[in-house]
Amino acid sequence: MLKRINNILNTVIGTFVGVFIGNAVYIFWDFNTRPGLYAMQSAPWYTSILLYGIVTVVVLIVSIIIKLIIRFKH
């Protein structure tokens, strides 16, 4: 059971990191392609990257803490 939870947590970690990198690359590409669209916004163009980064870091921290609890229980 613990091995299955560990595999699920590895999948969650990989998925969130992959989505974050993909989103950051897309936002950067979109900003370079259409800078005028981002000039109309009051927030900087990288704000959504920061928000995704914060969510990713929170998920990573929670997942790593759960993985450590599993490791020390086993």
In this prediction the pTM is: 0.86
DSSP 41: S
What is the per-residue pLDDT for 28?
Answer: 97
Separation CA 12–CA 19 (nearest Å):
11
CA dihedral 6, 12, 17, 18 (to 10 degrees): 120
CA dihedral 28, 38, 51, 56 (to 10 degrees): -20
In this structure, the number of other CB atoms found within 10 A of the CB of residue 48 comes to 14
Separation CA 31–CA 8 (nearest Å):
34
Q: Per-residue confidence of the chain (74 residues) as pLDDT tens digits?
A: 888 999 999 999 999 999 999 999 999 999 999 999 888 988 999 999 999 999 999 999 999 999 999 888 87
